[in-house]
Chains A and B, each alone.
Chain A
Amino acid sequence: MNHHRLLSTSCSLSKSVTTKLIKPFFVRETRRQFKPSFTISQLQNIRSLTSTPNSTESDTSTAPTRQYGFLFHSSDSSSPHFSSQLKSTPIPTPPTPPTPVPARILQRALSFVPVYGWTVETLSKAAVAEGYLSVTHGLFSRGGVDLIDYFLEDCRRKMIDELSGKMDGLKTHEKVKMACVVRLNMMRPYIKKWPEALAIMAHPSNVSMSVGHLAQLVDDIWYLAGDKSADMNWYSKRTELALIYSSTELYMTQDKSPNFEATFKFLDNRLTDVMRLGKAISEIGTFVDFATKSAIGILASKGLKFPGNR
């Protein structure tokens, strides 16, 4: 109980110092350090927290390298360098991802997604797992959206890596199918939580992000499949594939079949549909062309003159 009295006095003592710092990070963290049983010497350390460097060592075991000082105020707050920095300049603005640390937290966060979903909670769990404070999730101002953004970008890179060199000698539609399968396989661990992500992605403020990722994905697939179209086909191919991929993904979220067999069957059917449709359209084109030419031919034989006929 004595300790408690001591604690409160030390708190009031250090409070005057901490309020000067105006740093919620700092205040919260010093409180956290009080939780474990402590000794008088530690308390004295806490009292002299802002004046002497390297006084609190209770958290340094979990603290990673000091290269990214702005990320873990707990262990660094003791250094005079830091507090002086705070006085002179406002809180340093967090870098935009993906710089190494945020990317590492986001990467780790993906393993928490199957349990906690695409949430801020996942991010703070991941931050703790990576040895940062749980509040580090504040780096990601958009919370779950940032995580989804990272996940989709990560999948893109992985898909390209995985497919490179594997598609030689295949036909175009086989390449497209293979890329879709590879990409859908990446969804497996997260598929139960994917409807949640889809709901977030459908929010008006996130639509540009999600549509952008889908467009990138289909563009990648067509590029990898060696598509050379430079006309309106460029658009129609991408639109078709975007529709097929997104509907297959949606189907996958509801798929209960073993090993997602039904999903891949669904994908197969959609791709076949489109191929049949494409054939039909080109046949219509051929027919129209033929009909026009024969009409011109008939009219020309009746004595009409056409500029193109030579």
Chain B
Amino acid sequence: MSLRRSDATTADLKDSTIDTIESKASSKKRPLTYQERKLIESMIRVDHAGELGANYIYKGQMAVLGKDKEVGHVIQEMWDQEKVHLRTFDEIIPRYRVRPTLLRPLWETAGFMLGAGTALMGKEAAMACTEAVETVIGEHYNDQLRELINIDNEETTELREVIKKFRDEELQHLETSVDYDAQKAPLYGPLSAMIHAGCKAAIWITTRL
């Protein structure tokens, strides 16, 4: 599947005329509009960058808390799931011909610093960080799902399934982090508000770059 507007070859043009005739029967088969493609491209780019950041957060946490008996294996489990998420988006990016984020090095360092920094503040702070991040990611995936349902096109089916699955897993991480005393972290309120704002800013930037 190619999502680029200018990929339309003559054959595609023929196909699209057929599509428009068929679209009267089912709108799901219509070709995506230019705006819809751009929207989906930026969604994939943000999700990829988000998973990348999440990976580095867990990597940072593991660097500090890796040997911790209580939470070490919990973080490792969550990290393993995030690795699968990242691999999935690594594969989706070339398939949908999406430009990956230009700020990759920034998200890598920022993610690692955030993970390692909160982990140095203690297990609870690390969990509070996970909670805040996963809350934003969960909300973000929900917003995307709403938009994809609005687009209502066959081409988005796969992406919808992927995002739905990942959202559920991210929300599981959120629950896990709360179970492991995230809300008992020192300066829980300001810390989580700060991470919230940071994540939202990162999302905003990545949709553009």
Q: Which residues of A are in contact with B by a Cβ distance under 8 Å?
A: 153, 156-157, 160-161, 216, 219, 223, 227-232, 234-235, 307-308, 310
What are 8 of the A-B contact pairs (CB < 8 Å)? A161-B9, A216-B6, A219-B97, A230-B48, A230-B91, A230-B100, A231-B104, A310-B66
Instruction: Chain A residues near B102: list those with CB within 8 A.
Output: 235
Contact B9 A307 (CB under 8 A): no
Bound Cα distance A258, B68 (Å): 71
Contact B104 A307 (CB under 8 A): no
Bound Cα distance A234, B100 (Å): 7
What number of B residues sit within 8 Å (CB to CB) of A? Answer: 21
Contact B66 A307 (CB under 8 A): yes
Instruction: Chain B residues near A310: list those with CB within 8 A.
Output: 66-67
Bound Cα distance A42, B47 (Å): 72
Contact A160 B90 (CB under 8 A): no
- The answer to whether A232 and B105 touch (CB under 8 A), given A216-B6, A307-B66, is yes
Bound Cα distance A166, B133 (Å): 47
Beta-carbon contacts under 8 Å, B89-144 to A = 89-91, 93-94, 97, 99-100, 102, 104-105
Instruction: Chain B residues near A216: list those with CB within 8 A.
Output: 6
Instruction: Chain A residues near B97: list those with CB within 8 A.
Output: 219, 223
Bound Cα distance A223, B2 (Å): 10
Closest Cβ of chain A: how far from B140's Cβ, in Å? 19
Closest Cβ of chain B: how far from A292's Cβ, in Å? 14
Chain A residue with the shortest CB-CB distance to B60: A307
Contact B100 A160 (CB under 8 A): no
- Majority secondary structure of chain B interface residues (helix, strand, loop or mixed): helix
Contact A230 B9 (CB under 8 A): no
Bound Cα distance A161, B92 (Å): 24
Beta-carbon contacts under 8 Å, B51-95 to A = 63-64, 66-67, 89-91, 93-94
Q: Which residues of B are in contact with A by a Cβ distance under 8 Å?
A: 2, 6-7, 9-10, 48, 63-64, 66-67, 89-91, 93-94, 97, 99-100, 102, 104-105
- The answer to whether A232 and B6 touch (CB under 8 A), given A307-B66, A308-B63, is no
What total of A-B pairs shows CB separation below 8 Å?
39
- The answer to whether A156 and B105 touch (CB under 8 A), given A228-B94, A307-B63, is no
**Residue from B64, B89, B91, B105 within 8 A of A307 (CB atoms):** B64
Closest Cβ of chain B: how far from A229's Cβ, in Å? 7
Contact A232 B64 (CB under 8 A): no
Instruction: Chain A residues near B9: list those with CB within 8 A.
Output: 157, 160-161
- The answer to whether A157 and B94 touch (CB under 8 A), given A308-B63, A310-B66, is no
Bound Cα distance A228, B9 (Å): 22
Closest Cβ of chain A: how far from B117's Cβ, in Å? 13
Contact A157 B66 (CB under 8 A): no
Closest 6 CB pairs of A and B: A230-B93, A230-B90, A228-B94, A307-B63, A230-B100, A234-B100
| Residue from A157, A216, A310 with most neighbouring chain B CB atoms (10 Å) | A157
**Residue from A153, A229, A307, A308 within 8 A of B6 (CB atoms):** A153
Instruction: Chain B residues near A157: list those with CB within 8 A.
Output: 9-10
Bound Cα distance A20, B99 (Å): 55
Instruction: Chain B residues near A227: list those with CB within 8 A.
Output: 94
Contact B94 A229 (CB under 8 A): yes
Closest Cβ of chain A: how far from B24's Cβ, in Å? 23
Chain B residue with the shortest CB-CB distance to A220: B7
Chain B residue with the shortest CB-CB distance to A227: B94
Contact B66 A232 (CB under 8 A): no
Instruction: Chain A residues near B105: list those with CB within 8 A.
Output: 232
Instruction: Chain A residues near B64: list those with CB within 8 A.
Output: 307
- The answer to whether A156 and B6 touch (CB under 8 A), given A223-B97, A232-B104, A232-B105, is yes
Instruction: Chain A residues near B90: list those with CB within 8 A.
Output: 228, 230
- The answer to whether A230 and B89 touch (CB under 8 A), given A160-B9, A216-B6, A219-B97, is yes
Contact A308 B66 (CB under 8 A): yes
Instruction: Chain B residues near A223: list those with CB within 8 A.
Output: 2, 94, 97
| Residue from A219, A227, A231, A235 with most neighbouring chain B CB atoms (10 Å) | A231
